[in-house]
Amino acid sequence: MTQKNLLTGPTLRFDGNPMTRGWQDAVRIDSDGAVLLADGVIAAVGTANQLRKAHPQAVETHYGDDHLICPGFVDAHVHYPQTGIIASWGKRLIDWLNDYTFPEEMRLSDTAYAQEVATRYLDLTRAHGTTTVASYCTIHPHSVDALFSAAATRNQRIVAGKTCMDRNAPEGLRDTAQSAYDDSKALIERWHGTGRASYAITPRFSPTSTPDQLAALGALWGENPDCLMQTHLSEQTDEVAWVRDLFPQARDYLDTYEAHGLLGARAVFGHAIYLEPREIDRIAETGAALVHCPTSNTFIGSGLFDMAALATRNIPIGLATDTGGGSSFSMLRTMAAAYEIGQLRGTPLHAAQLIWLATAGSAITLHLGDKIGSLSTGNEADVTVLDLSSTPAIAQRQAQAKDAWESLFATIMMGDDRAIADVWIAGARQP
Ligand code: GUN
Ligand code: ZN
């Protein structure tokens, strides 16, 4: 029999969505909580005393009062191939893509380099407490194999897809409508539902796909409806104007996807800053999800996502680093940036909402809410334990905290990988 692990200490629990109801009713911290990990899943949740008594054979790891046992962080929109060019200076989206991103993505034509970056990326994100990502790869199918294989080695749940581009990208970084369809189809057959992997059909964004390619990927999605479809939507005003020129028949940016079969409940759109009322209505009607990428939106100079307005439309919203347009691998830093953008909009998010977005919220946008993102019995045993006094600066603030939320908020605003005390993936404590 495999070892059962009992984690005891302050535990984060969810009873609902804190974006659409009062956070006090949806999120709580059990100060004397416990989570039992067995056979890769969360076998029980309760108080420390209850679970100690019920499972005397379990090996206990106790986390003290200045810790918080959380679900593993879920980063709902990343580009692992951009790991090596994170924090590149001074460009906005289109120039940033051409000058920094495409040259680096070209380097992943080398399989060994793709494998090296995939491993480095998963090392870095795990060190920051992230246990699942939804990643774009490059146009090279082996870049998808590299990430799925690296994740499988660690037993990590992962979402990924081959980025498809057949125009407005350099020679060497373009596929065709047909090869995008064929390669994506073969990757779906190889990886979708294999272990903890799931596939996302991934047109990069409308400017880099011809209508033929969008239609081919729409058809592929129709044939594989339980795959996700991830892409970018309305990130910068120049980009929105470019899409208008490229697709004169389209009613708006969203319509360039919708007209080609690329809108539905399993669609996940990154950024979504400059949405028209019709687009918001259609997203809400279809059940598609949006992903807020706050460090990216400030770093590349995109704009301020309107979390408060979109959340009240019941649109599922996740949180993401958008590495390497985003300037950090850390979901703590990403929560801090989401807080700051909320402040600029006059709608600050509470710590309970921020941590929910980084876990359950992101998991729900990826249609994985019944597997990851919350410490619920039956979910997979991905757990991140925070040290809430990880640096002298945080510790001195935490010492004055009036309650657990104030204490968590200091770590959200000032924490980094030093605040990650432990990461458990599929029930196994990580090195
Ligand atoms: N739009 C199209 N491609 C990208 C990308 O790689 N990063 C970001 N932030 N936006 C994009
Ligand atoms: Zn992106």
| pLDDT tens per residue across span 252-267 | 999 999 999 999 999 9
Last residue of a domain, one of 322, 343, 365: 365
- Give me the pLDDT at residue 249, please: 97
| pLDDT tens per residue across span 129-144 | 999 999 999 999 999 9
Note whether 413 and 341 are same-domain residues. no
Tokens 């005003």 belong to which residue?
237
Number of domains composing the chain: 2
Note whether 392 and 346 are same-domain residues. no
Note whether 140 and 174 are same-domain residues. yes
| pLDDT tens per residue across span 12-63 | 999 999 999 899 999 999 999 999 999 999 999 999 999 999 999 999 999 9
- Calculate how far, in angstroms, residue 318's C-alpha sits from the geometric centre of ligand 2: 13
Whether the upstream peptide bond of residue 270 has omega within 30° of 0, thus cis, is no
Note whether 121 and 238 are same-domain residues. yes
Note whether 283 and 227 are same-domain residues. yes
Note whether 260 and 335 are same-domain residues. yes
The CATH number assigned to the domain holding 43 equals 2.30.40.10
Note whether 81 and 16 are same-domain residues. no
Rounded average pLDDT over 194-209: 98
| Residue 85 DSSP one-character state | G
Note whether 124 and 270 are same-domain residues. yes
Report d(CA 411, CA 238) in Å as an integer: 36
Q: Is the pLDDT of residue 205 over 90?
A: yes
Which residue's CA lies nearest to atom 3 of ligand 1?
Answer: 204
What ipTM is given for this predicted complex? 0.99
Note whether 411 and 314 are same-domain residues. no
| Residue 330 DSSP one-character state | -
Note whether 259 and 247 are same-domain residues. yes
> Which tokens in the block code for residue 385?
């334990």
Q: Which atom of ligand 1 is nearest to the CA of 101?
A: 6
Report d(CA 269, CA 176) in Å as an integer: 22
- Give me the pLDDT at residue 227, please: 98
Last residue of a domain, one of 365, 387, 418: 365
Which residue's CA lies nearest to atom 1 of ligand 1?
Answer: 232
Domain assignment of residue 194, given as a range:
73-365
Report d(CA 66, CA 386) in Å as an integer: 8
Q: CA geometry: angle at 226 spanning 225 and 230, to 5°?
A: 85
Number of H helices, E strands in the chain: 18, 17
Helix axes 111-127, 141-153, angle to 10 degrees: 40
Note whether 16 and 136 are same-domain residues. no
Secondary structure of 169-207 in HEC code, one letter for each residue: CCCCCCCCHHHHHHHHHHHHHHHCCCCCEEEEEEECCHH
- Calculate how far, in angstroms, residue 48's C-alpha sits from the geometric centre of ligand 2: 41
- Give me the pLDDT at residue 1, please: 58
Last residue of a domain, one of 346, 365, 384: 365
The CATH number assigned to the domain holding 260 equals 3.20.20.140
> Which tokens in the block code for residue 30?
């059990």
- Give me the pLDDT at residue 131, please: 99
Note whether 77 and 64 are same-domain residues. no
- Give me the pLDDT at residue 293, please: 98
Pocket probe mutation, ligand 1, options 98, 101, 139, 256, max atoms within 8 Å of Cβ: 101
